[in-house]
């Protein structure tokens, strides 16, 4: 068993201050008007140092295949991380069928109360494929979620934020399906948007997607990023399905099917390969341009192949998601 960061050191990392976020300090964020564009000025710090450490710890556990010891150990690690920040983390175990196998996994849930009882659900899956340790897919999404959760402890938010680390995504979105299935209709209607973080460090370009009929949060996010000098892009009407399977690609899919608006953050490159978003980088890297679900999905490989990229993408997504959660307010019905 590979060693992971001792829990007392993890707690020290999570409890240490990170500085003020780009665009708004945690104390000032709640006073900003809807869609305000706050000039960056000269950034005093980059964000993502905690997230990077968390990625390293989760990948040091090894592969995190649904139902495996590695996935279970990672779930326990995420619970400890939430508790170190100051959240009460709830472990919601579930059992589901994946093909011919029965998988036992768990979703990890933590809640930050906001001014309104209406909720924004922020989710990222923590399992991996069996091909590699999954630094990009998807330790990166979980790590961004956790660093944002830490930063939000000192901030007022217009909405209650529900953070969910999903298990067993790679086995057929089992964690997000299980989570949705335990929600009541009132709870579903209470969610104004689901924010999904998946594979956010390896690809050439940072993207945010949504359904065109429910693109208000996406468009607000793009406007904020542009106004703050951050290179975040979108693909309208993006075909977000596996080309060979015709099914959705990430944990947002069950919430989309239930009528909950979503925004989905990832990194890839829609100009490469089949131009369907499946080729993340130049074909000389990874396996013909793909890093996720391969042995190349490690911090070491990403740092050697794309110096500075991991840190840059972590900084971008933490800044964007933090400001979305502290500034965005939906129009009154």
Tracing tokens 């977000």 back to the chain, one arrives at: 240
CATH number of 46-327: 3.40.630.10
Determine the pLDDT at residue 98. 84
Q: By percentage, how much of the chain surpasses pLDDT 90?
A: 78
The total of other beta-carbon atoms located within 10 Å of residue 259's CB is 10
Domain ranges of the chain: 46-327
pTM of the shown model: 0.89
Q: Which two tokens stand for residue 4?
A: 């992971």
Q: Closest Cα partner for 43 from 15, 24, 16?
A: 24
The total of other beta-carbon atoms located within 10 Å of residue 190's CB is 18
β-pair type (101-112, 116-125): unpaired
Written as tens digits, the pLDDT of the chain (333 aa) is 444 445 545 655 565 544 444 544 333 332 322 333 333 333 335 799 999 999 999 999 999 999 999 999 999 999 999 999 999 999 999 999 988 889 999 999 999 999 999 999 999 999 999 999 999 999 999 999 999 999 999 899 999 999 999 999 999 999 999 999 999 999 999 999 999 999 999 999 999 999 998 999 999 999 999 999 999 999 998 887 655 444 567 999 999 999 999 999 999 999 999 898 999 999 999 999 999 999 999 999 999 999 999 999 999 999 999 999 999 998 877
pLDDT in tens, 119-172: 999 999 999 999 999 999 999 999 999 999 999 998 999 999 999 999 999 999
Determine the pLDDT at residue 15. 53
Spatial distance between the Cα atoms of 5 and 159, rounded to a whole number of angstroms: 33
268 by DSSP, 3-state: which?
A: strand
β-pair type (191-197, 90-98): unpaired
**Are the C-beta atoms of residues 98 and 66 closer than 8 Å to each other?**
yes
List for the chain the helix, strand, coil content (%; round to 5): 35, 20, 45
């Amino acid at each position: 068993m590979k060693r992971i960061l001792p829990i007392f050191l993890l707690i020290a990392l999570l409890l240490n201050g990170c500085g003020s976020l780009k665009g708004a300090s945690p104390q000032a964020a709640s006073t900003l008007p809807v869609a305000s564009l706050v000039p960056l000025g000269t950034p005093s710090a980059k964000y993502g140092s905690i997230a990077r450490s968390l990625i390293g710890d989760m990948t040091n556990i090894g592969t995190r295949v649904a139902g495996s010891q590695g996935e279970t150990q990672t779930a326990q690690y995420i619970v400890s991380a939430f508790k170190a920040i100051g959240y009460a983390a709830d472990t919601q175990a579930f059992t589901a069928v994946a093909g011919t196998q029965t998988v036992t996994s768990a979703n990890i849930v933590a809640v930050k109360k906001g001014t309104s009882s209406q909720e924004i659900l922020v989710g990222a899956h923590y399992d991996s494929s069996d091909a590699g340790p999954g630094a990009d897919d998807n330790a990166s999404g979980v790590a961004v979620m956790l660093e944002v959760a830490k930063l939000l402890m000192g901030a007022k938010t217009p909405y209650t934020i529900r953070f969910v680390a999903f298990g067993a995504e790679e086995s057929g979105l089992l964690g997000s399906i299980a989570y949705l299935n335990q929600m009541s209709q009132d709870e579903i209607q209470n969610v104004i948007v689901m924010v999904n973080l998946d594979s956010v460090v390896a690809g050439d370009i940072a993207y945010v997607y949504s359904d065109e009929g429910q693109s208000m949060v996406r468009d607000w996010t793009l406007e904020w990023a542009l106004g703050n000098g951050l290179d975040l892009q979108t693909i309208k009407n993006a075909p977000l399905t596996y080309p060979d399977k015709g099914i959705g690609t990430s944990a947002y899919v069950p919430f989309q099917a239930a009528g909950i608006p979503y925004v989905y953050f990832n990194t890839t490159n829609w100009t490469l390969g089949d131009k369907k978003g499946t080729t993340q980088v130049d074909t000389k890297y990874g396996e013909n341009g793909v890093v996720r679900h391969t042995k190349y999905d490690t911090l070491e490989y990403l740092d050697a192949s794309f110096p500075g990229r991991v840190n840059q993408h972590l900084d971008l997504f933490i800044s964007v998601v933090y400001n979305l959660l502290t500034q965005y307010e939906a129009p009154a019905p």
